[in-house]
Amino acid sequence: MSLALEGKPRTAAPAVSAPPGAHVVLDITGMTCATCAGRVENALRRVPGVAQASVNLALERADVDLGAADVTPAALAAAVERTGFGAHPRPPSAAERRREEDSREAERVAAERRQLLLLVVSAVLTLPLVLPMVAAPFGLHLHLDPWVELALATPVQFLIGGRFYKAAWKAVRAFSGNMDLLVALGTTAAYAFSVYMLFARGADASGHLYFEGAAAVITLVVFGKWLEARAKRGTTAAIRALMTLRPERAHVLRDGAEIDIGVDEVRPGEGVVVRPGERIPVDGTVAEGESEADESLITGESVPVVKRVGDKVTAGALNGVGRLVVSAVAVGEDTTLARIIRLVENAQSGKAPVQRLVDQVSAVFVPAVIAIALGAFIGWFAAGHGVEEALIAAVSVLVIACPCALGLATPAALVAGTGAAARAGILVKDIEALERAAVVDTVVFDKTGTLTEGRPGLTDVVPVDGGDKDALLRLAAAVQAGSEHPLAKAVLAALPGVALPPVEKFRALVGRGVVGTVEGRVVAIGNRDLMQELAVDIAAVAPALAHIEGEARTAVVVAADGKPIGVLGIADPIRPEAIEAVALLAARGVRSEMLTGDSEGVAAKVAGVLKLHAYKSSVKPAEKSAALEALKAAGRKPAMVGDGINDAPALAAADVGIAIGTGADVAVEAAPVTLMRPDPRLVAAALDISRRTVRKIRQNLFWAFVYNVVGIPLAALGFLTPALAGAAMAMSSVSVVTNSLWLKRWRPDFSAGQTKR
């Protein structure tokens, strides 16, 4: 159910056209079931210029992708409102969205309380009606005067149940059907028949009245909607928690003074003071001070991280006991936190492929149910039963068939699952990838920065024929000064503060090395492929190469003017979590493989330590995607884990791309799944939450279909009274949402050798 937000006027939709290709988000009010969401979706898709529209019942949200034509958000909102629902474009800035979400949450709570009040009144009026029915099996014969039954049932039917009539009328005007239409038809038929019998027979109508059935159905539906609303508020807790991380105000240093301004007014490059115990308002680097930052709600890492001058900090992190001055780098919508919120919102509003089946069923569900109810009435009447028995069967069919559970089955599980993943530092932005991750049987890792620390250090400097080590290192460092490669940084780190000669004609050759001119000499630094490409004979350094590679270290040759002058050895230590990560995957029946551009010796050593199932060495970046395609051709379901930038082609080629990164540097646009901290164990956790979410979706759909597939025939055959049908229908929605909420309890399980289910 979607609680209609009452009592607070909405801001008019902006008349400015959204640019072609833009993405517009609308908050929708008044939806109650899957058919309502389908009506809104169809209305939006019919607007000229709309390329695609998707409506999420659980989040009360519509996502619209625009095509080539300009479309105003006001036109989109008007199209929705013509179908009988409310629509309001979502504000663009994070601060406005947070304020609106706070307002919506307050309105939801108020509406929930009003609904609880209506439920209590309805229950008080209904209880005397159903009491005789409940007492009869115990030999107690309680009777109410028929006119008292009418007096009790009428306010329940038209005051408490008035909402169903309003929504049903909107559906009829739109030539559509929804849950409210079924409830209105069913309860009205039972109530009207009872009124007819009462006026036709008077006191003799006792025992042939169904006021209690109509009142019980309305009370049970209202009860189910109240429970459903409470449960649904829990599924969106992840977004609300992320929104509260961003401070509203920031202390900025301007003209030598510290002033308080709105966080959206902070400019990049300004100094922002973060006092002890405050949340950091911007992404940036520490310019002054030392402290610890709790980044757990962003990265999922519970241990505070020490922050010193030069370290990067992320908006939303909680500062410890020290005072920091942060130089702002990213503010407002550009911060990591803002991007995370957008990713989680987009993931939760997405539509899994399995939902397409639900949409197809929902489109024909209500007309089919009405036809079945009419058929049940005609069948019972034609079989010689009276109008009374025929009416009971028809009303029971209408009541039990409300498709609320179908509409909530997928979005409720997606919202709960992606929210739990986000709290653990796993961001899912592609819902289709979530389904694919559930069946992954092979994980392919990049090596550097994924299985290893990614911060290699220089371990060997071996000049040819016992030459000058310092001269060799100085020449190599001069060329590497023009490179951002991690191996280059290891060489430069070995000569801190040393003045280096300038490099000219610098070239970086992806996957092979670098070339540049230093002091008139053409210097090349790289692997065997580069030396072969440059026709450099490496026989003189072959022993040194073999020794370094035999120790599982990376060996690079330094050549000057076409001749080798030495070899550098560089080691990139294996991450301590990598061994456990591979064991976790193996325990889940998933193969672990590695693709690396490193040499055979280094690759074999790393693969042996980690107990990988397979590996390929000396693989160029362009060849990684081909390796993934080969795995898929062999019938495997591979996921690729890399840094999200250099491995972009391979991430795209895999069934599921998983980018592994840290805090503000995470490449959130590179893959459908992003890990917010460089812990390879989170790969197994990502597969776990994907499997659990997909399993919840299937469980929800199973129960939603079972309620209808089993319940409708039972109702048509006369085995269910309208009251029992109403109870079953109400519990179907509650069970679906409650089942989904179990995902909120999920936490990554790093116990190697066992799978958390």
Which residues carry out catalysis? 446
Residue 539, number of CB atoms within 10 A of its CB: 7
Closest alpha carbon to 582 in 557, 611, 621: 611
∠ CA 7-8-12, rounded to 5°:
135
Task: State how far Cα 476 lies from the chain centre.
Answer: 46
**For strand 656-660 and strand 457-463, is the pairing parallel, antiparallel, or unpaired?**
unpaired
- Region for residue 614 given its phi and psi (left: phi exceeds 0; alpha: psi -120 to 50; beta: otherwise): beta
Closest alpha carbon to 464 in 582, 365, 545: 545
Cα Rg of the chain (Å, integer): 33
Task: Name, in order, each residue with C-beta under 8 angstroms of 543's C-beta and a sequence gap of 6 or more.
Answer: none
CA distance 77 to 61: 12
- Region for residue 708 given its phi and psi (left: phi exceeds 0; alpha: psi -120 to 50; beta: otherwise): alpha
Q: Which two tokens stand for residue 251?
A: 């202390």
CB under 8 A, 24+ apart: contacts of 590-594: 590/440, 590/441, 590/442, 590/443, 590/684, 590/687, 591/441, 591/442, 591/443, 591/636, 592/442, 592/443, 592/445, 593/442, 593/443, 593/444, 593/445, 594/444, 594/445, 594/446, 594/447, 594/451
Burial of 177 (0-12, 13-18, 19+ CB in 10 A): buried
E-state strands within 217-307: 249-254, 257-262, 271-274, 283-288, 291-294, 305-307
Closest alpha carbon to 634 in 507, 446, 444: 444
Task: Name, in order, each residue with C-beta under 8 angstroms of 87's C-beta and a sequence gap of 6 or more.
Answer: 13, 26, 27, 28, 29, 40, 62, 76, 77, 78, 80, 81
CA distance 513 to 40: 56
CA distance 74 to 100: 18
Ramachandran angles phi, psi of 6, nearest 5°:
-110, 160
CA distance 615 to 595: 6
Cα-based torsion angle of the residue sequence 638, 642, 645, 647 in order, rounded to the nearest 10 degrees: -50
CA distance 309 to 155: 69
Task: Name, in order, each residue with C-beta under 8 angstroms of 708's C-beta and a sequence gap of 6 or more.
Answer: 400, 401, 403, 406
Sheet containing 324-330, strands listed edge to edge, beginning at the edge strand earlier in sequence: 257-262, 249-254, 271-274, 324-330, 283-288, 312-313
Cα distances (Å, whole numbers) of residue 424 to 96, 427, 640: 26, 9, 20
Task: Name, in order, each residue with C-beta under 8 angstroms of 217's C-beta and a sequence gap of 6 or more.
Answer: 183, 186, 187, 190, 399, 722, 723, 725, 726
Closest alpha carbon to 245 in 308, 314, 292: 314
Ramachandran angles phi, psi of 111, nearest 5°:
-65, -35
Task: Name, in order, each residue with C-beta under 8 angstroms of 163's C-beta and a sequence gap of 6 or more.
Answer: 180
CA distance 430 to 352: 9
CA distance 19 to 14: 13
